[in-house]
Amino acid sequence: MTMQLNRPLGVVFDLDGVIVDSFAVMRQAFDLAYAEVVGEGHPPFEEYNKHLGRYFPDIMRIMGLPLAMEEPFVRESYRLAGEVKVHDGVRDTIATLRERGHRIAVATGKSGPRARSLLRTLGLIDLFDVVIGSDEIAHPKPAPDIVLHAMDVLDVPADRSMMIGDAVTDLQSAQAAGVTAVAAVWGCEGNTADLLAAGPDVVLERPEELLALCPSAVAVEASA
């Protein structure tokens, strides 16, 4: 018998809705930004929510809202970062993936500095090999750039990589990059029809289910 290594996987996570439940904080930040920049009227957060996964300025362009909303939105998001919740099971699942020898990234619609600041505030930053924001690549989701960049940093090929997201744009980015597209429905609040219609390769209802897809990248016995 000889010893060989199972190759590590590249596991790329979206942030909001997958690692963290930031819905309440985003609503507060969006409502404040709308009131501060637009003024009176009902903040269209429900429509904003349909575009989650995209870079904030891109969402503003799609919705026809002022790009000036970004500054108060980001300011309020930083202020409320401590109120963001980590989804149950996520921390232990990612820690186990690291223990198994896999390489872990975050590829988010947030800016890189804001994503890293949030993960640092929540005590999660050390779980990831790299955290990439939409301001750090040429074309944000649904383009493949952010996933391709993560794979390059992790040094893992497409056929050994997966992208885990809760938005159609996450799956589109994964599919365009040629990696396994994994739909995470634990943060979708029952609204999964569009996500499932996007054709994910795998659907997970709990973070722990990811472990079955990612066996240990450790030394195993093999026939000579």
pLDDT tens per residue, range 165-218:
999 999 999 999 999 999 999 987 657 899 999 999 999 999 999 999 999 986
Nearest to 205 by CA among 220, 219, 187, 218: 187
What's the pTM?
Answer: 0.91
Q: What is the mean pLDDT of the chain?
A: 92
Cα–Cα distance for residue pair 38/43, rounded to 1 Å:
9
The pLDDT tens digits for 86-115 are: 999 999 999 999 999 999 999 999 999 999
Q: Where are the beta strands (DSSP E) in 29-146?
A: 85-86, 103-107, 130-132
The interaxial angle of helices 23-37 and 70-79, nearest 10 deg, is 140
Give pLDDT, residue 7: 87
pLDDT grade, residue 221 (50/70/90)?
very low
